[in-house]
Structure 1
Amino acid sequence: MERLCFILLLALLIDRSIGDPDWIWRKLPHPVAAFGAGIKWFETRYNRKSMSPRLRKWCGLDALLVLLTASFFVGLFIHKFLFGLGFAGIVIEALVASIFIAQKSLVDHVGKVEKAFKQGSLVEARDAVSLIVGRETKNLDESAVCRAAIESLAENSSDGVVAPVFWYLVLGLPGLFCYKLVNTADSMIGYKNERFKDFGWASARLDDVVNFIPARLTAFIVILTSGLFINWKAAAKALEVVKKDARHHHSPNAGFPECAFAGALDVKLLGPRIYSGKAVDEPFQNDSGKMAGPADIYRAIRLFKRSMDVLFLIILVLFLIALVV
């Protein structure tokens, strides 16, 4: 356990410092692209309209199991190989793990929305937020753009940081690879439209399962962070909104980190929006909160950074306990 915790501490520091440098991934294929290529290969061959819905479900499940097995054993092979390299292997594994953690990437992308508002351009803010959300953004007003940015930051606090960290602690590099495979599959084929609702069914359901604990753990970290770095009134509000509104989200998991952010910042999140031309009418999270504005994006980024500090401290404590036990 101490080895895993130490590697995670290094990985979090590396990711927070350098993130995913564009110059590297312009020259090399990103590992997540390999997951995407595998998913696409199976989807184009085994998700045909001529198949029955039941058969497409089975094909989607089979494809997911094959890709999960491959991801697990690739992760295991890399871990075993690096284990024999001593401290150099620890550093290399930390570098590999950092690729699948998105602290700096999240701050950079959401920060572009805040920067656009500082420059007085709602159009540029819409363009920036369109890169990180699935809803239509061309007609969003200022508050709706701000809500979208904060929601994305909150949800991806779990999907992009806490969940990868959790699964690395549970199963090491194989667990991290498998989690990212499932998460990538859900983002590619986990839709309820005509094309993917059957073939992507297994991926969407498994994504719900693997994010169940991390989403709630993220909410806990945000609530704790609110008490430590804002005030305990903010923490109490975050807990209240999570308990009241998280279960009303269409996702069984995303509502937890989003509600924690909504309560801690005391802003409304979610509400009505449009996906692929279809209106989705969901209730606001923290309906008594204020309408989100550009300043709240800055506050959300600051809350996210402090939450990542708390996550780092939690892993550090686990590392110290593992050394003693």
Structure 2
Amino acid sequence: MSALIAPLALLIERFTGYPNALFKAIGHPVTWIGALITLLDRRLNTGYNRKRNGVLALVLILAATALATIPIMLVCRAVPFGWMIEALLATTLLAQKALADAVCAVATSLRRSLPEGRAAVAHIVGRDPEALDAPGVARAAIESLAESTSDGVIAPLFWLVIGGLPGVALYKAVNTADSMIGHKTERHRDFGWASARFDDLLNLIPARLSAILIAGAAFFIKGAHPEAAWATALRDAKRHDSPNAGWPEAAIAGALDFALGGRRTYAGETVALPTFGTGRPDLGPDDIDRALKLYAITLNLALALTTVTCLTLWRLA
């Protein structure tokens, strides 16, 4: 029955998410990992050989995560119905519901007013919200949805299938480290190098798989373009600085005939980023809704593919 861990976790988390009461009581696994990363950043991000210290920090993060999750997995798989407990624990490291709720909140807020839309989108993007007009708010929400479809859902799901609870936990540890210290700033350029490069490696397959699933989901939406989704991903994904982030963003842009990316402002500094897709840039709340519908069908396909894959692997074992 352990073959059902990944699909069960995906199904449960989609409808329940992570309970707010539980977060208030004990926090979240990602916040625990984040606390460790903050400690290592403070203690090890000094001296002349920061790149070496960053490698050491990554090893310590991975070791702590493995030590915390491998014994849990072994116990769960040794007791009756323990696989269900492992699936429940794995739900904490997926983000389907939280992502959908956050992006939906942007559409709802933007319909009321631009200031409310800016406030809502500020919860899911790092760019300056006050520099965004209404189409900019909509594009930011859709771009965040696209990128998080890969690294918040498909990638952790992929590593859950591969390695069970330890696999998904190790992925989230690396992804969290990349988001916290994998920046090209003066402080983290060297120290976060190992985390950023390892995160790139872990996302190589999931990012492309995300684009394929998005293209597949476009078949089920009236007016969407599955062929354009994949063609746009092949053409435009390589424009992104990241080897992975451009794939789901370009796929959504092609599927829905959007133009995503472009100029954005961070901490008062305007950055020119590549454009994905050749469609409309003047997006609004209704376009966010269309992207969310595409996202929902993408999750359906991911669940179906995961179930078939896990049962096939079980039969072959």
TM-score range, shorter chain: over 0.9
Distance 1:195 1:77, change over 3 A: same
Q: CA deviation at 1:237?
A: 1.1
Q: Which residue of 2 aligns with 1:182?
A: 174
Question: Contact between 1:182 and 1:207, CA under 8 Å: does it hold in 2?
Answer: yes
- Structure 2 counterpart of 1:243: 234
- Cα displacement (A) at 1:230: 3.8
> What CA deviation, in whole Å up to 9, does each residue of 1:24-83 have, x standing for no partner?
1101121111111111111111113xx12xx11100110111111221232211100111
How far 1:319 sits from its partner (Å)?
A: 3.4
Q: Mapping of 1:80-119 within 5 angstroms?
A: 80-87=74-81, 89-119=82-112
**Which of these residues, 211, 214, 219, is aligned with residue 203 of structure 2?**
211
Number of residues of Structure 1 aligned to a counterpart in Structure 2: 316
Distance in 2 between the 1:161 and 1:224 partners? 16
Q: Specify the alignment match of 1:37 in structure 2.
A: 35
Give 1:151 deviation, angstroms: 0.4
Is contact 2:94-2:156 (8 Å) kept? yes
Counterpart of 1:228 in structure 2: which amino acid? F
Aligned to 1:70: 64
Unaligned runs of 5+ in 2: none
Q: Does 1:220 align with 2:212?
A: yes
Aligned to 1:282: 273
The alignment partner of 2:265 has SS state of strand
Offset, 1:8: 1.1
Following the alignment from structure 2 to structure 1, what is the Cα–Cα distance between the partners of residues 44 and 292?
41
The residue that corresponds to 2:163 in the other structure is 171
Which is further off, 107-116 or 29-38?
Answer: 29-38
Tell me how far apart the structure 2 counterparts of residues 214 and 305 of structure 1 sit (CA, whole Å).
Answer: 17
CA shift at 1:171, angstroms?
1.6
1:128–1:194: structure 2 CA closer, same or farther, 3 Å change rule? same
Q: Distance in 2 between matches of 1:65 and 1:57?
A: 13
Quote how far apart the aligned CAs of 1:290 are.
Answer: 4.7
Q: Is the CA contact 2:253–2:279 (under 8 Å) kept in the aligned structure 1?
A: no
**Does residue 289 of structure 2 align to residue 298 of structure 1?**
yes
Take 2:250 and 2:295, find their aligned partners in 1: how far apart are those partners?
14
Contact 1:221 1:311 in 2 (8 A): yes
Aligned-residue offset at 1:252: 1.2
Residue 61 (1) aligns with residue 59 (2): no
Distance 1:320-1:42 versus aligned 2 partners, 3 A rule: closer
Q: TM-score, normalised by structure 1?
A: 0.94
Structure 2 match to 1:23: 21
Give yes or no for contact 1:266–1:290 (8 Å, CA) kept in 2. Answer: no
* Partner residue of 2:191 out of 191, 199, 217: 199
Q: What is the distance in 2 between the residues matched to 1:255 and 1:189?
A: 20
Q: Alignment identity in percent?
A: 43
Which blocks of at least 5 consecutive residues in structure 1 are unaligned?
A: none
1:102-134: CA deviation from partner (whole Å, max 9, x where unpaired): 000001100110111222x11111111111111
Output the amino acid matched with 2:33. Answer: F
TM-score after normalising by structure 2? 0.96
Q: After TM superposition, give the deviation of residue 323 of structure 1 in Å.
A: 4.8
Distance 1:237 1:289, change over 3 A: farther
Q: Structure 1 counterpart of 2:287, which letter? A: D
- The secondary structure found in structure 1 opposite 2:273 is coil
RMSD: 1.4
2-side partners of 1:18 and 1:34: how far apart? 21
Which position in structure 1 is the counterpart of 2:136? 144
